[in-house]
Amino acid sequence: MALQAGIVGLPNVGKSTLFNAVSNSAKAQASNYRFCTIEPNVGLVDVPDERLAKLAELVQPNRVVPTQIEIVDIAGLVRGASKGEGLGNKFLGNIREVDAIIHVIRCFEDENILREEGAINPVSDKEIIDTELQLKDLDSVEKKMQKTEKNAKFDVKAKAELEVLQRCKAHLEQGKSIRSLGLAPEERTAIADLFLLTEKPVLYVANVDEPSMHTGNKYSETLKAAVAEEGAEVIIMNNSIEAQISEMEEPEDKALFMDEYGMKEPALNRLIRSAYHLLNLQTYFTAGVQEVRAWTIGQGWKAPQAASVIHTDFEKGFIKAEVIGYDDYVQYGSESACRDAGRLRIEGKEYIVKDGDVMHFRFNV
């Protein structure tokens, strides 16, 4: 599943430094000037999962394959982007293509790092981004309203769409994002073709200074208060420290470095897991001598659909799935032991896959 989370924020807040930390397949340029990132950088990121390591420990396979998501480093946005300022429409177009947003906000003081917006103010920084996205969405909604109004006079479907568009317009004009409007699934179809920027789920990263990396600071607390009504998560991290950890190749070196900073794991791991769940994704596993592997699926997927991520033929010729719950697999230690204990289930086409299921598919093409 090629689902993407895009890293956004004002210039020089630490976006590319964060991308360098998370990406295991590409390195973004991180420099202290406006629009250092012009074309978006894309990197595949392994999703940390202790369950995969535990299964590998039990099975001892020839190889272990984690699941991944794509992280996109998008150019810094400036005030007036919705009207073409800075990289304007190019930036906003790049955001439109991602499935979720990781919004990096500067929560530290450093006179050596340029800042065009005056004193450090995470709430103001957030509002600048929000406003530009809302203005762009408002333009998209108004254009569709003009087309829909003509048909709404004699078409029931068009009339219903117009009502949804009018609600979206009023919401955006109040300075609110579409994701907080609470549209029902059937109502979302009215705006599905617009790929609205403010409808995308958001995860906030408070990029703090080194002394604040465990507890946060006054800036990150202000940010948390500002996003509380959104129900959004705020990850506190020092992007520079995370980038240093990611550059270390030896596990021993990483462990010593993190121990020095009192870290049990990189904050980056929490970020990646949070981004993964923000996209409404979950994981199932296949476990055999040749390979133990994690597979990404959407929440609520049924067994044949889950099988399709291995190969489309698995879905077409699906017969049944052999399923072992992760906890059962760990408790009994092997597939054969689970089978003997009656903990291996045979599930059909209507089975909704659970996060952590260990599965084997039977199919016929």
Does 207 carry a binding-site annotation? no
Does 15 carry a binding-site annotation? yes
Does 14 carry a binding-site annotation? yes
- How many Å apart are CA 301 and CA 303, to the nearest integer? 7
Does 16 carry a binding-site annotation? yes
Tokens read off for 284: 């199932």
Does 12 carry a binding-site annotation? yes
CA distances to 101, 173, 176 from 168, in Å:
20, 9, 9
Q: In sequence order, which residues have a C-beta less than 8 Å from that of residue 272 and are 6 or more positions away?
A: 22, 45, 46, 47, 48, 69
Q: DSSP characters for 119-164? A: S--HHHHHHHHHHHHHHHHHHHHHHHHHHHHHHHTT-HHHHHHHHH
CA distances to 166, 237, 243 from 216, in Å:
40, 8, 18
Residue 19 CB burial class (10 angstroms; 0-12, 13-18, ≥19) = buried
Q: What are phi and psi of 18, to 5 degrees?
A: -65, -40
- How many Å apart are CA 226 and CA 232, to the nearest integer? 10
Is the distance from CB of 234 to CB of 220 less than 8 angstroms? Answer: yes
Tokens read off for 195: 């790929």
Does 312 carry a binding-site annotation? no
CA distances to 8, 44, 59, 116, 194 from 200, in Å:
13, 20, 39, 27, 12
Is the distance from CB of 213 to CB of 237 less than 8 angstroms? Answer: yes
Binding site, annotated residues:
12-17
Residues annotated within the binding site for ATP are 12-17
